[in-house]
Each structure stands twice: as structure tokens, then as C-alpha cells.
Amino acid sequence: MSRAAIASVLITAAALGLPRPVVAAEGDVIAGAAAVIDGDTIAIDDVVIRLFDVDAPEMAQTCEGGPSRLRSCGAYVADALAERLADREVRCEVLKVDQYDRQVARCDLDGEVLSQWLVANGLAMVFRRYSDRFIEEEEAARAARLGLWQTNFQPPWEYRARRWEVATQEAPEGCPIKGNINRKGERIYHTPWGSKWYQKTRVNTAAGERWFCDEREALDAGWRAPRQ
């Protein structure tokens, strides 16, 4: 992210009286107990971190077949990651900052790479659009029918694309991201794929709520992603 883009986010947040987002720089190391946002995203203090090279099911994603515990596979993976972390210290090295202000990082737990652990246990796929690391682990997990490989599931990137396509047909002016203001006055945006609250959320424009065409627009306007 450019310095100008970071400055824009900080200025917008300050103008709205919102907490300033924490944006680390490439090469920074962040350590501490981590909260799980979804199967491949964690937060350490106020820093949102996307695990590098992998893509896990979205929180609202479901899988067909296999054991019943895997049907809500997005939540299942998030719970498995939370159990793995269990208030232990996670060490993350920032590799880059993406367009949504998430730090993309290599995160280790007691020397074990979390991205590799997710793939090896069938809890995430290699994000092959960006990486070819951990392919051997993915193929071994698939062959052993570990985790998600016991089910029929869409790759997360296909799931997101499909949910976006359907939601744009139903949303005003084709902008499907819902900007909601909760009872605490927090501005939170909900994507068609990432939030379990999406279907239940109603946008009241008279109360200052609004629709967004993409996440970058929502972030620049002072909204944040939900913390599951």
C-alpha cells in the first residue's frame, strides 16, 4: 500500500472519530496471542493478518457430504484454527500489505508455519493464483481425505465469485456490500461471502447506512470488516 493510501485511511478514520487502523510495514514482526477472524485471517491486538499462500473456506461457506461437523466448513476451519492457537503466542512476519489493509504474513506457532499446518490438515487450499508452496502437503491431505477433503466443496475463490455474482444482481446499482451501523455506533461492512450476518443485515440509508461496490470503498469511508 502506498503512503498516500495509508494516509487516506487514517484521515478518514480520524474525521469520523473511529479507531485508527494499525498498518504494519513489510518486514515488521508482530507477536502475541491471536484472535481468529476466519480460517485464514487472524488479529493480533489491532493488526489484521492474512496468512500467506493459502485460502480457507469463508465463514458463511458450507460443504456437502462428509461428516456432519464439516457441513458448516467455514466455521469448522475457523474453530480448528482457534483451538490450535488457544492463547499461545503467534509470531508473524509481514510480507506485504494488501489492498484491504490486511497484513499478509508468514505466521509461526512454536516454529510451525500456520499456512502449512492448515494445508497439511486439509483445512485450506494452496492459493495457486499467487503461490505454489505447500502443493505436496495439499496433495497428501487430499489423498488421505483429511479435513475438507472428506466433503464436496467449492474452492474458496470460486465460492466468493459466485456469491458476488448473485448478490450484485439483487443489490441497488449492483453494489452488494452492506454498510451497517451497530448499536455501539460502529461502522461495519458485510460482504456476500465473508459474513454470517449478510443475509440478516438490512441497510437503512436514512440512518446513515449505505451500500458499497467494493471493500476498498468501504474501508476508505471508515467502515471495517466484521470480527467474527
What is the domain partition of the chain in residue ranges?
3-152, 158-220
Q: What H or E segment, with its residue span, contains residue 11?
A: helix 3-16
Q: Is 8 exposed, middle or buried (0-12, 13-18, 19+ CB in 10 A)?
A: middle
| CA–CA gap between residue 131 and residue 28 (Å, rounded) | 21
Q: Which residue has the cell 491471536?
A: 34
Q: Is the pLDDT at 206 greater than 70, yes or no?
A: yes
How far apart (Å, rounded) are the C-alpha atoms in residues 115 and 106?
8
Report residue 82 as a C-alpha cell. Answer: 482457534
Cα–Cα distance for residue pair 90/197, rounded to 1 Å: 28
CB of 215 within 8 A of CB of 46?
no
The CATH class given to the 3-152 domain equals: mainly beta
**Each residue's pLDDT tens digit, 78-136:** 999 999 999 899 999 999 988 777 799 999 999 999 999 999 999 999 998 888 899 99
Most confident of the ranges 16-30, 55-69, 184-198: 55-69
Q: What is the mean predicted confidence (pLDDT) over 44-67?
A: 92
pLDDT value at position 10?
A: 34
- Kindly report the average pLDDT of the chain as a whole number: 86
| Predicted pLDDT at 9 | 34
Average pLDDT rounded to a whole number, residues 153-161:
93
Write out the DSSP string of 159-176. Answer: HHHHHHHHHHHHSGGG--
Show the DSSP H helices in 52-175 as ranges: 73-85, 114-120, 135-143, 156-170
pTM: 0.76
Task: Classify each residue of 148-160 as buried b or exposed e, where b means 16 or more C-beta atoms within 10 Å of its C-beta.
Answer: bbbbebbebeebb
pLDDT score, position 19: 41
What's the confidence (pLDDT) of residue 137?
Answer: 98
